[in-house]
Structures are given as structure tokens and as C-alpha cells.
Amino acid sequence: MPLIDSGKLVDDAWVRLGDDDALPAADVPVIVSLARFHKDRASLAGRNGGLGVWLASNQHPKDIADHLADFALVALDFPKFRDGRGFTIARELREHLGYRGVIRATGHTLPDQYLFLVRCGVTQVEIPEGRDPALWAHALTEIDTAYQVSVAGPLSMARLARHKTTEHAA
């Protein structure tokens, strides 16, 4: 999957590991399901490459709250672009759990959702094959007024109607 970070196409070093896949070399960063994380915690710990966890849209951030320090990346699944649970999960990871690592959106999202994703704390988006990455870059420039608090700014309700997202973006 092509990967977008800050509006740009970037290389993806992470390997998404199936639950039965063998572990790659220790310096390759891997993303595992929550089930595999619990099953293989011992062998997953102490690898040089980063460790990431993948959450389905019905899994809750509180399920990983105690282990957040283990994860350099949390991947959130959007099974359909209309399923907006990932927005709340991302915001909760940032706002309530203070998570500072990478949050990656996977599955089906649209460029039209990109700004919302960023404002909820998502840092990377896997985009469907065959889509024009330029649309994602452009999506960040379309609307520069934000009427509400979000983890990527603005950080308060003050001057409710008067915030430019670009002035406050983290």
C-alpha cells in the first residue's frame, strides 16, 4: 500500500505480520495484531526494529493502554470509509492516553477525510492502490478554518470561530 505522511508519499519500512507469519530479521519493524502481541510478547520484545500494533475498528484503546510504551506505531483499521470509529480511537490515544508514537490509518479512507484524520491525531495513512497521492497532499490545503478543539490544534475553544488550522497545527 502506498503510504502518505504529512501529505507526501513516503517509503514504508514496516511489515504487517499475519498471526502465523514467521518473524523477520530483528531490525525489521513489524506490525502485529493485538492477539499476536499478547501471545508472543516475549519474542516480540527486545527486537531492534520497532513494534507496532494493529487495532480493528471494534477494538478499544483501553485494550492497549497498559502497553502503549511498547509500541512505536498503532495502526487503526477503517473497514469502510464510512466507519468513523477510528477518529474517536485516534483522538482518545492522543488526548486521554498521551500516546506520542505514530498512528497509522489502514483500510479504506478517502482523501476527503485526510484533514479530519490529521486533526484527530493520525500521522500516516495507507492509501488504496491506484489512487492519486496528490489528492491527499491537496486535501490538507482545502480548508484552513477550524471551528473546534482538536488534538492537532486549536487547543482551546477561545475565539471559537476564528482559528486557522495552519497556525496551530502540531
Partner 1 sequence: MSPTAAARQIDPPANGLPSHAGIYHYDQVDRDFLKQRVEQFRRQVARRLAGELTEDEFKPLRLMNGLYLQLHAYMLRVAVPYGVLTSRQVRQFGRIARQYDKGFGHFTTRQNLQFNWIKLVDVPAILDLLAEVDLHAIQTSGNCIRNVTSDQFAGVASDEVVDPRHYAEVLRQWSTLHPEFSFLPRKFKIAITGSSADRAAICIHDVGLIAKRDADGNVGFEVYVGGGLGRTPFIAKKLRDWLPEDQLIAYLEAVLRVYNAYGRRDNIYKARIKILVHELGIDAFRNEVEAEFARMPVAEYRLEPTIIDGIRARFASQPYEALEPISGVLARARLEDQAFNRWVRTNVAAHRQPGYAIATITLKPAGGIPGDVSADQMDAIADLADHYSFGEIRVTHEQNLVLAHVRQDDLPALWKALSAIGFGEANSGLITDIIACPGLDYCALANARSIPLAQRISERFADLDRQHHIGELKIKISGCINACGHHHVGHIGILGVDKKGVEAYQLTLGGSAAEVGAIGDIMGPALSADETVDAIESVVGVYLEQRQDGERFLDTLARIGHTPFKDKVYASH
Which amino acid would we find at residue 85? Answer: R
Could you say which of 85, 102, 133, 137 contacts partner 1 (CB under 8 A)? Answer: 85
- Read off φ and ψ for residue 56, nearest 5 degrees: -75, 165
Q: Which stretch binds partner 1 (CB under 8 A): 14-22, 24-32, 66-74, 114-122?
A: 114-122
Smallest CA-to-CA distance from 134 within 150, 100, 111, 117 is with 111
Cis peptide before 154 (omega within 30 of 0): yes
Q: How far is the CB of 124 from partner 1 (least distance, A)?
A: 17
Residue 156 touches partner 1, criterion: CB under 8 A: yes
Among residues 150, 6, 102, which one has the least CA distance to residue 168?
A: 150
Residue 158 sits in the site that holds partner 1 (CB under 8 A)? yes
Grid coordinates representing 89 are 480511537
Candidates 2-10, 17-25, 65-73, 154-162 — which segment interacts with partner 1 by CB under 8 A?
154-162
- Is 100 a binding residue for partner 1 by CB under 8 A? The answer is no
Told to check if 63 binds partner 1 by CB under 8 A, we report no
Among 1, 26, 35, 147, interactor with partner 1 by CB under 8 A? 147
- Residue 76 and residue 83: Cα distance in Å, rounded? 12
Q: CA 50 to CA 45: how far, in whole Å?
A: 10
The least CB distance from residue 67 to partner 1, in Å, is 19
Alpha-carbon gap, residue 59 to 14, rounded angstroms:
21
Binding range to partner 1, per CB under 8 A, among 2-10, 14-22, 32-40, 112-120: 112-120
Q: State the residues that interact with partner 1 by CB under 8 A.
A: 60, 81-85, 87-89, 91-92, 95-96, 110, 112-113, 115-117, 119-120, 132, 142-150, 155-162
